[in-house]
Structure 1
Amino acid sequence: MADGTTTNTEITWADFTKVELRVGKVVHAEVFAQARKPAYILQVDFGPELGLRKSSAQITDHYRPEELVGRLVVAVVNFPKKQIGPIQSECLVTGFHDANGHVALCVPDLDVPLGTRLL
Structure 2
Amino acid sequence: MQTISWDEFTKVDLRVGRVLSAEVFHQARKPAYVLQVDFGEEIGIRKSSAQITHLYKPEELVGKLVVAVVNFPKKQIGPLMSECLVTGFHNADGEVALCVPDKPVPLGMKLL
Using structure 1 for the length normalisation, give the TM-score: 0.94
Corresponding residue for residue 63 of structure 2: 70
State the 1:38 CA deviation: 0.1
Question: Which of 42, 45, 59 is matched with 2:38 structurally?
Answer: 45
Corresponding residue for residue 5 of structure 1: none
Unaligned runs of 5+ in 2: none
Unaligned runs of 5+ in 1: 1-7
Question: Which of 100, 103, 111 is matched with 1:110 structurally?
Answer: 103
State the 1:89 CA deviation: 0.3
Counterpart check, 1:9 vs 2:2: yes
State the 1:16 CA deviation: 0.2
State the 1:74 CA deviation: 0.1
State the 1:81 CA deviation: 0.1
Q: Following the alignment from structure 1 to structure 2, what is the Cα–Cα distance between the partners of residues 30 and 113?
A: 24
Q: Following the alignment from structure 1 to structure 2, what is the Cα–Cα distance between the partners of residues 39 and 61?
A: 9
Q: Secondary structure at the match of 1:16?
A: helix
CA RMSD of aligned residues (A): 0.3
Q: Secondary structure at the match of 1:50?
A: coil
Question: Which of 72, 75, 83 is matched with 2:76 structurally?
Answer: 83
User: What is the percent sequence identity of the aligned residues?
Assistant: 75
Q: Following the alignment from structure 2 to structure 1, what is the Cα–Cα distance between the partners of residues 108 and 33?
A: 21
State the 1:87 CA deviation: 0.5
Q: Secondary structure at the match of 1:22?
A: strand
Q: Deviations over 1:4-61 (max 9, x none)?
A: xxxx111000000000000000001000000000000000000000000000000000
Using structure 2 for the length normalisation, give the TM-score: 1.00
Could you list the structure 1 runs, at least 4 aligned residues long, displaced by more than 4 angstroms after superposition: none
